[in-house]
């Protein structure tokens, strides 16, 4: 090894040790100036000889370029959430269930503060950090490794004897001091400050440019593991955490062990008393059965372990005055009343707006403009109006209220379409789905999705730019886009983001991406009726219902003119779905968009109505779960539908059959609980082979 290589290796070790002491032990070992000199020397060595750069070099913490999207990551072991407890009685019931499940002994628990941040997973292979992802839906998250590398408390390489594979589960958070410092600097620059540390952490990890994330004061604590290979884990959770600490991973210093209900409540009281003095926000504490073998015996519910629970702190509350009630239209058309409040500090954050959830909540609270209200941050995050202080309501001389009750509007404030509320539901919705500006982006993303019109290359970021810069108002406008439009939009987006692409620096204009997108749009012009129906985004009309409607009516015009009674005749279309279909097509705006799609050349074959279902699986509802070797689940579903089955996405009492491939999860458990027939892939293949032969 050359002298330069030896020096580079030495510098990497010195910097890693300094980072560990500073960010994890809170005990700096060298002055900042010395640390900076090490970094400058290492950068110079690597610049002179790029072959000296290693994946775990501290110079690579901000080496990634801005991305247009995040890739999906399939978690090797699901990232489950925790059930919550809000009272001592609930905690006592949890402990009692644990004791009964393990034979009556008073159990030991690993206990720790519940950090108010964003759950992530880090994957180390042979000690090197190779992947990092968000929780997502628990099964699939987003790859944010470029952003996670910028967090200096996350080691790029584990210390000691590293295992072959170690997935570390933990929380990314923003320390209080860093949050306050960042906001002070942002205000000085004339920028918008972060709302609170939790939003700051989540928003920082969602930045497409890791250089932006690197400027945010983020930190990390580990609290568990996922997939592990090549490491014998300790017998207790608390000892396993110490193993992780020995590998260089940071842990919450308040983590310890407690016994029984009395120990848990004492820990809860202690952390609650220290809460305001802790250097990071917490919203409760977490209790985990310490003995790992007993954890495995107790197992899991559908989305949470039976052996762990989060004990939440009470929401923080304050009094203020309700100055107005506005309504907002959400991305799916949901009408949400929003309380405009006299500014008040709640839980360390100045609150001016709070959710009122829906019209039923307003009626339950009897909240009116001018009332004194109690506002709280539900879960210490989302401000909400909790109750009205009736004693302070302004009254007339005769004792009647001076302020009138609130009435939700009947017309959408964004697009003028009718607002409807289905009987039995609390949420009111705008019916102008394809036209409403508030729903525009969501409608476009759904329209372009793989199972709808399948427009390759049209991702969320492009949709946002197309709408924000005024190039697209409805889905039909996609088919009018030209190459010049897309290039101009990209230039404006780059100017907004302060980005100068390399091609522009070289005096060139990159157009391949735009040409590919236009090709994807053009290819989607020829589709099927069922895809069009699903792509329109009619509420509660999923893929299965879209297929049923396409078969039943044969053509779109017949469906658009169908009455409620005619829609109710379609199998599995009940009163709620039929009213939503009829309401959607009753809106002139939606009909105009459909006409514009046809005028733009979008076409689909139409045929005669098919109102009888035949085949050996006629009348049967089938659910597919897990992975199949012979073909994809989509292909398997199509084969089953060809034999008369209705393919559904979830298991219920109406399910006739579950086909379970490899790694089948909670759907298989539920099917067994309900006594539903279960086929493996071999049984499915045998059935398809038999009936393919009989129909040949």
**Phi, psi (5° rounding) for residue 90?**
-70, -40
Q: E strands of 471-519, at which residues?
A: none
Residue count (the chain) = 696
Quickly count: other Cβ atoms within 10 Å of residue 226's Cβ: 17
317-392: in CATH 2.40.50.140: yes
So what's the pLDDT on residue 313? 86
pLDDT at 619 over 90: no
pLDDT in tens, 157-169: 999 889 999 999 9
All CATH 3.30.470.30 domain ranges in the chain, comma separated:
84-312
Distance of CA 550 to the CA centre of its chain: 32
Distance CA 529, CA 533 (A): 6
Q: What is the DSSP string of 654-666?
A: T--EEEE-BT--H
Please, what is the Cα angle at 263 between 261 and 268, to 5 degrees?
A: 95
Could you tell me where in the chain the CATH 2.40.50.140 domains are found? 317-392
pLDDT at 695: 47
Q: How do residues 305-332 score in pLDDT, each as one tens digit?
A: 999 999 988 767 788 999 999 988 887 7
pLDDT of residue 315: 65
- DSSP of 45-104, one letter per residue? HHHH-GGG--TT-GGGGG-PPP-SS--EEE-SS------EE-SHHHHHHHHHHHHHHTTS
**Domain boundaries 409-611, corresponding CATH code:** 1.10.150.20
> Can you tell me which residue has the tokens 């909240």?
367
Confidence of residue 693 (pLDDT cuts 50, 70, 90): very low
For 171-216, the three-class secondary structure string (H helix, E strand, C coil) is EEECCHHHHHHHHHHHHHCCCCCCCCHHHHHHHHHCCCCHHHHHCC
Q: How large a percentage of the chain has pLDDT more than 90?
A: 44
Q: What's the chain's Rg over C-alpha atoms?
A: 29
120 bridge partner residues: 134, 170
**Residue 380 contacts residue 280 (beta carbons within 8 Å):** no
Tokens of 627: 């992975």
Residue 412, φ and ψ in degrees, nearest 5 = -65, 125
CB 151 within 8 A of CB 219: yes
Q: What is the pLDDT of residues 334-375, one digit of tens each?
A: 888 999 999 988 866 789 999 888 888 888 889 999 999 989
For residue 65, the model assigns a pLDDT of 54
- The catalytic residue among 114, 490, 620, 646 is 114
The model's pTM is 0.50
Q: Is 114 a catalytic residue?
A: yes
Contact predicate 73/227, CB 8 Å:
no
Numbered ranges of CATH 1.10.287.610 in the chain = 3-53
CA 527, 530, 533, 536 torsion-angle sign: negative
Q: Per-residue pLDDT averaged across 429-443, rounded?
A: 85
Segment 78-133, tens digit of pLDDT:
898 898 898 899 999 999 999 998 887 789 999 999 998 999 999 999 999 999 99
Q: Which fold has domain 84-312?
A: D-amino Acid Aminotransferase; Chain A, domain 1 (3.30.470)
Quick: pLDDT tens for 43-72.
888 888 888 888 778 887 765 555 556 888
Residues of the chain with CATH 1.10.150.20: 409-611
621-695: CATH topology is Rossmann fold (3.40.50)
Take residue 527 and report the two structure tokens written for it.
């589709």
Question: Which pLDDT belongs to residue 422?
Answer: 67
What is the mean pLDDT of the segment spanning 479-498?
93
Q: Identify which of 634, 637, 632, 608 has the alpha carbon closest to the alpha carbon of residue 620.
A: 637
Distance, in Å, from the CA atom of 392 to the CA atom of 635, rounded to the nearest integer, reads 64
Residues 156 and 217: beta-carbon distance below 8 Å: no
218 phi/psi in degrees, rounded to 5: -100, 155
Q: What is the CATH number of domain 3-53?
A: 1.10.287.610
Structure tokens of 5?
């290589």
What is the per-residue pLDDT for 62? 60
Q: What CA–CA distance (Å, rounded) separates 251 from 24?
A: 8
Residue 623 phi, psi (nearest 5): -120, 135
pLDDT digits (tens, 9 = 90+) for 524-540: 999 999 999 999 999 88
Residues of the chain with CATH 3.40.50.10190: 621-695
Q: Residue 188 and residue 159: Cα distance in Å, rounded? A: 40
Task: Check residue 563 and report its DSSP letter.
Answer: -
Q: Tell me the average pLDDT across 403-409.
A: 87
Report d(CA 71, CA 147) in Å as an integer.
Answer: 13
């Amino acid at each position: 090894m050359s002298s330069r290589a030896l020096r580079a290796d030495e510098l990497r070790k010195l910097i890693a040790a300094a980072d560990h002491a500073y960010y994890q032990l809170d005990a700096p070992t060298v002055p900042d100036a010395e640390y900076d000199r090490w970094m400058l020397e290492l950068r110079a060595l690597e610049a002179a000889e790029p072959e000296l750069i290693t994946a775990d070099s501290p110079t690579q913490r901000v080496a990634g370029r801005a991305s247009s999207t995040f890739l999906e990551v399939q978690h090797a072991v699901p990232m489950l959430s925790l059930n919550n407890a809000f009272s001592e009685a609930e905690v006592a019931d949890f402990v009692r269930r644990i004791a009964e499940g393990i034979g009556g002994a008073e159990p030991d628990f690993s206990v720790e503060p519940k950090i108010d941040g964003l759950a992530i997973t880090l994957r180390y292979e042979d000690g090197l950090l190779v992947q990092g992802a968000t929780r997502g839906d628990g099964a699939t998250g987003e790859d944010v490794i470029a952003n996670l590398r910028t967090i200096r408390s996350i080691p790029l390489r584990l210390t000691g004897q590293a295992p072959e594979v170690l997935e570390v589960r933990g929380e990314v958070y923003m320390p209080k001091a860093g949050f306050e410092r960042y906001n002070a600097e942002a205000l000085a620059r004339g920028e918008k400050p972060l709302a609170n540390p939790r939003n700051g952490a989540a928003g920082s990890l969602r930045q497409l440019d890791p250089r932006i994330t690197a400027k945010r004061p983020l930190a990390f604590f580990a609290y568990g593991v996922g997939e592990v290979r090549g490491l014998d884990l300790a017998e207790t959770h608390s000892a396993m955490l110490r193993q992780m600490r020995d590998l260089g991973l940071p842990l919450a210093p308040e983590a310890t062990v407690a016994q029984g209900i009395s120990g848990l409540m004492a820990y809860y009281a202690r952390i609650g008393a220290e809460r305001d003095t802790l250097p990071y926000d917490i919203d409760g504490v977490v209790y985990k059965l310490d003995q790992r073998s007993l954890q495995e015996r107790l197992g899991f519910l559908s989305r949470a372990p039976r052996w762990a629970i989060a004990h939440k702190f009470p929401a923080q509350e304050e009094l203020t005055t309700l100055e107005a009630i506005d309504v907002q239209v959400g991305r799916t058309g949901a009408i949400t009343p929003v309380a405009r409040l006299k500014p008040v500090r709640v839980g360390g954050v100045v609150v001016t707006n709070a959710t009122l959830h829906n019209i039923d909540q307003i009626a339950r609270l009897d909240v009116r403009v001018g009332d004194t209200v109690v506002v709280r941050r539900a879960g210490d995050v989302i401000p909400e109006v909790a109750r009205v202080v009736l004693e302070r309501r302004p009254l007339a001389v005769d004792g009647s209220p001076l302020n009138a009750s609130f009435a939700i509007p009947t017309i959408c404030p964004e697009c003028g379409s009718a607002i409807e509320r289905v009987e039995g539901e609390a949420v009111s919705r705008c019916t102008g789905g394809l036209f409403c500006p508030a729903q525009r982006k969501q409608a476009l993303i759904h329209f372009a999705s793989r199972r709808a019109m399948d427009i390759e290359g049209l991702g969320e970021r492009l949709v946002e730019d197309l709408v924000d810069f005024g190039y697209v108002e409805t889905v039909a406008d996609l088919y009018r886009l030209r190459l010049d439009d897309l290039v101009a939009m990209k230039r404006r987006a780059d100017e907004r983001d302060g980005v100068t692409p390399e091609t522009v620096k070289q005096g060139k204009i990159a157009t391949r991406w735009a040409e590919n997108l236009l090709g994807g749009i053009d290819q989607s012009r020829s589709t099927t009726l069922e895809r069009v129906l699903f792509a329109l985004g009619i509420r509660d009309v999923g893929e299965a219902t879209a297929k049923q409607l396409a078969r039943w009516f044969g053509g779109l015009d017949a469906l658009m003119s169908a009455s409620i009674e005619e829609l109710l005749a379609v199998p599995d279309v009940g009163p709620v779905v039929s009213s939503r279909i009829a309401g959607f097509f009753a809106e002139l705006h939606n009909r105009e968009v459909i006409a514009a799609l046809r005028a733009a050349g979008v076409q689909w074959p139409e045929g005669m109505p098919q109102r009888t279902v035949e085949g050996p699986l006629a009348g049967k509802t089938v659910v597919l779960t897990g992975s199949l070797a012979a073909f994809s689940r989509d292909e398997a579903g199509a084969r089953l539908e060809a034999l008369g089955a209705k393919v559904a996405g979830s298991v219920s009492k109406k399910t006739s059959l579950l086909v379970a491939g490899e790694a089948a999860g909670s759907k298989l458990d539920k099917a067994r609980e309900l006594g539903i027939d279960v086929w493996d892939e071999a049984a499915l293949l045998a059935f398809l082979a038999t009936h393919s032969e009989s129909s040949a």
